[in-house]
């Protein structure tokens, strides 16, 4: 399968921002963002931001109700148990 692009996350104006970066050099596409201090202090939030960014990218051009899920996830409560 040919690589089409990457999800990149960077700090920007007090936010942790996720962008889609196509390999063809097209402009980056904003996907979603979270407050920077939350991302910095809670690594699981950064993981959730990346998952949300993937879902946004995969579903942004799909018709309403015609969604795609990248993977089956455990319930959030199970993932947050330390």
Query: Could you read off the pLDDT of 33-42 as tens digits, one per residue?
Result: 999 999 999 9
Q: What is the pLDDT of residue 17?
A: 95
pLDDT digits (tens, 9 = 90+) for 2-19: 878 889 999 999 999 999
Give the per-residue pLDDT at 15.
95
Could you give the percent of the chain with pLDDT greater than 70? Answer: 79
Closest CA to 18 of 39, 43, 4: 39
Give the number of other CB atoms < 10 A from CB of residue 49: 21
pTM for the whole structure: 0.72
Q: And the tokens for 70?
A: 């990248």
pLDDT at 82: 44
């Amino acid at each position: 399968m040919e690589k089409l692009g990457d999800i990149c996350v960077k700090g920007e104006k007090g936010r942790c921002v996720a962008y889609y970066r196509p390999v063809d050099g097209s402009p980056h596409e904003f996907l979603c963002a979270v407050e920077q201090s939350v991302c910095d202090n809670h690594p699981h939030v950064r993981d959730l931001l990346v998952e949300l960014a993937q879902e946004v990218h995969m579903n942004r051009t799909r018709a309403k109700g015609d969604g795609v899920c990248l993977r089956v996830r455990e319930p959030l409560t199970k993932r947050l148990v330390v």
